[in-house]
């Protein structure tokens, strides 16, 4: 079994966040396991929670001048992965 925690700071300032490219500070919590079925086959599974938290957005288009504003509350990503190693 594996477990991990990570923190990533935002790649953009809050004022530069756009509605189609949400970037903010993130926390990641990861867990996973490997299981040896036999000498030639290993199975792997993992789960990652990417916590983005609350993010405000205010974006004004340069050509149209239209503004979109709002926020994302308790934004998160849930990622499940798996794999196998087959030795032959």
pLDDT per position as a tens digit, 39-80 = 999 999 999 999 999 988 888 877 887 888 888 899 999 999
Q: Give me the pLDDT at residue 6, please.
A: 98
CB atoms within 10 A of CB 45: 13
| CA terminus-to-terminus distance, the chain | 25
pTM for the full predicted model: 0.76
Mean of per-residue pLDDT scores for the chain? 91
Q: With contact defined as beta carbons under 8 Å apart, do 8 and 26 qualify? A: yes
Length of the chain: 88
């Amino acid at each position: 079994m594996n477990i991990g925690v990570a923190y990533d700071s935002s790649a953009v300032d809050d004022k530069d966040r756009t509605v189609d490219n949400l970037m903010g500070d993130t926390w990641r919590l990861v867990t996973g396991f490997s299981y040896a079925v036999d000498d030639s086959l290993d199975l792997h599974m993992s789960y990652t929670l990417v916590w983005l938290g609350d993010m405000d957005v205010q974006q004004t288009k340069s050509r149209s001048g239209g503004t979109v504003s709002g926020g994302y509350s308790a934004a998160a990503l849930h990622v499940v992965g798996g794999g196998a190693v087959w030795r032959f």
